[in-house]
Amino acid sequence: MNIRGNEALRDKLAAEYVLGTLRGGARRRFEGWMYSDAALRMLVKDWERRLLPMHEFVRAQEPSAQLWRNIEMRLHLKPERSSWHFWRGFGLGTASAAAAAALVLAISMQQLRGPSYDLVATLTDQQAQPALLVKADTRKRLLQVHIVGGAPVPVDRSLQLWAIPKKGAPRSLGVLGAEGRGTFALASSAVGDDVVVLAISLEPRGGSPDPDGPTGPVLYKGPWVRAM
Amino acid sequence: MAFRALYDAAAPKLFGFALRILRKRELAEEALQEGFVSIWHAAPHYEAGLAAPLTWMAAIVRNKALDILRRTDDTVELDHDAFRDEYASTPAEASEMSSDARALAACLARLEGLHRMAIGLAFFHDLSHTEVAQRMSLPVGTVKTWIRRGMERLKSCLSHAEAP
């Protein structure tokens, strides 16, 4: 059977494949087609994206502590006594460790417990180095700023966060504390569809004396994007 | 280290999921262990645009759990009344779910209870159309139709939910 060109059938089979009701010979045939058909693999990915969140309907449960130790052992994550093992394990795992870090960040930003941030911005300096991470939960009206890099701020100055609309004056979202991080109430002016960029300016201590915009240089900026 | 943090963040949810499929702690732990080993190796190839990270990891763990289920086969006891409670109702802890799961729950809630149950049985227990029909004491043709229509409705409902 050739399923190329029959979109309705391809989509139906992809759905049954992910759901699990496609069985036996039909399932093996489908896997054979998937192997040489990238568009079919995309249909499967789409159905996974739709159906797999069902796993969250189940109550979370703690696995035994031994389980992590088994995983650690299988992957040689723990430095072993011999330095040869240590270096080998380290070298092999670097790419996975970096990817795991990115996944942790993505998860903590997207889901699990607490606020669910639906707007995010990574503010970068002029060399495109990330300096601050800004995220907002529009339902809980919460705005959070984390410093991830960037230059230290002189004691007599403050960093101020601005929403830059397509037209009109910048709107102040808050002045960062001395340690550079903070949680603010999210002003509705920050989440309008017309706000596409966030920026940080260097201001006199306590913030810009001008309510309509920064008086100091803009140090960091980045696009304000909808995460979900 | 990062992988430990990833494990801590995701393992309880994924373990609950594996336990729902396999019903036995030792089998669910095996699925989780195999799953995390695969996640470690596959993490550099994860594409953020295609699926939320937890969804991506859940797909991996589910495949491991289904492999184990097929290997051990009919050792998993299925309790009809428990099913009714599990699938006829929609989940309660909505505040803990991702936006994807909330959207899916809302769309599932718009299906009829028995259609939702047929989809849940197939998804969590790797049952064929025939097996779902047996569990629900219904003709297989009915179950096939319900599942096909249910999937079509889910797709259309979710595409509306995704639109900005």
Task: Tell me A79's DSSP state.
Answer: -
Quote the minimal CA–CA distance from A105 to chain B in Å: 9
Residue A89 has a pLDDT of 41
pLDDT at A80: 47
Rounded to a whole number of angstroms, the distance from the CA of A63 to the nearest CA of chain B is 6
Local structure of A199: helix, strand or coil: strand
pLDDT at B61: 95
Q: Identify all chain A residues contacting B40, using CB atoms and an 8 Å cutoff.
A: 71, 75, 93, 96, 100
Residues A38/A44, Cβ–Cβ less than 8 Å: no
Q: State whether the Cα torsion A45-A49-A54-A59 is positive or negative.
A: positive
Q: How far apart are CA A211 and CA B95, in angstroms?
A: 37
When pLDDT is cut at 50, 70 and 90, the band that residue B148 belongs to is: very high
Q: Do A53 and B126 touch (CB under 8 A)?
A: no
Coil, strand, or helix at residue B24? Answer: coil
Assigned token pair, A211: 């309510």
Query: Cβ contacts of residue A195 below 8 Å, gap of 6+?
Result: A163, A164, A165, A171, A189, A224
Place of tokens 């994007």: A225
Q: Would strands A195-204 and A218-223 be described as parallel, antiparallel, or unpaired?
A: antiparallel
Nearest to A68 among B7, B13, B50 (CB): B7
Closest CA in chain A for residue B1: A97
User: Do residue A20 and residue B127 have CB atoms under 8 angstroms apart?
Assistant: yes
Selected residues 196-225 of chain A with any CB under 8 Å from a CB in chain B? none
pLDDT of residue A179: 65
What pLDDT was estimated at residue A91? 44
- Structure tokens belonging to residue B1: 């280290």
Q: To the nearest whole percent, how much of chain B has pLDDT over 90?
A: 34
Contacts with B, A 170-199, CB within 8 Å? none
The shortest C-alpha distance from A158 to chain B (Å) reads 32
Size of interface A-B (CB pairs under 8 A): 193
> Nearest chain A Cα to B4, which residue?
A68
Q: Does A53 touch chain B (CB under 8 A)?
A: yes
* pLDDT at position B151: 95
End-to-end CA distance of chain A: 39
User: What residues form DSSP beta bridges with A183?
Assistant: A144
Residue B140 in contact with partner chain A when CB distance is under 8 A: no
Distance from C-alpha of A16 to C-alpha of A37, rounded to nearest angstrom: 17
What confidence tens digit (pLDDT) does each residue in B6-31 have? 888 889 989 999 998 888 899 999 99
pLDDT surpassing 90 at residue B141 = yes
Length of chain A: 228
B106 touches chain A (CB under 8 A): no
Token digits for A109?
């930003």
**Which portions of chain A are predicted below pLDDT 70?**
1-2, 78-102, 104-117, 148-151, 178-181, 189-190, 227-228
Q: How many CA atoms are closer than 13 Å to the CA of B148, on its beta-carbon side?
A: 14
Predicted confidence band of residue B82 (pLDDT cuts 50, 70, 90): low
Q: Which token pair is A149?
A: 């890099």
As a whole number, mean pLDDT of residues B79-83 equals 53
Chain B nearest C-alpha distance from A115 (Å)? 9
**Among the partner residues B6, B52, B123, nearest to A111 by beta-carbon distance:** B52
Task: Note the pLDDT of residue A14.
Answer: 95
C-alpha B20: how far from chain center: 9
Q: Which residues pair with A56 in a beta bridge?
A: none
- CA A78 from centre of chain: 27
> What's the whole-number average pLDDT of chain A?
78
**DSSP letter assigned to residue B90:** P
A68 touches chain B (CB under 8 A): yes
Pick from B7, B16, B119: which is nearest to A59 by CB?
B16
Q: Do B101 and A56 touch (CB under 8 A)?
A: yes
Q: CB B73: neighbour CB atoms within 10 A? A: 9
Residue of A nearest to B25 (CA): A63
In this complex, is the C-beta atom of A45 within 8 Å of any C-beta atom belonging to chain B? yes
Closest CA to B93 of A112, A55, A114, A59: A59
Closest Cβ opposite residue B13 in set A60, A77, A99: A60
Q: Which of A111, A58, A50, A44 is nearest to B104 (CA)?
A: A50
Contact check, Cβ <8 Å, A100/B122: no
Contact check, Cβ <8 Å, B16/A58? yes
Residue A2 identity (one-letter amino acid): N
CB contact B49 to A (< 8 Å): no
- The two tokens of residue A99 are 């990817």
Nearest to A220 by CA among A149, A142, A156, A170: A149
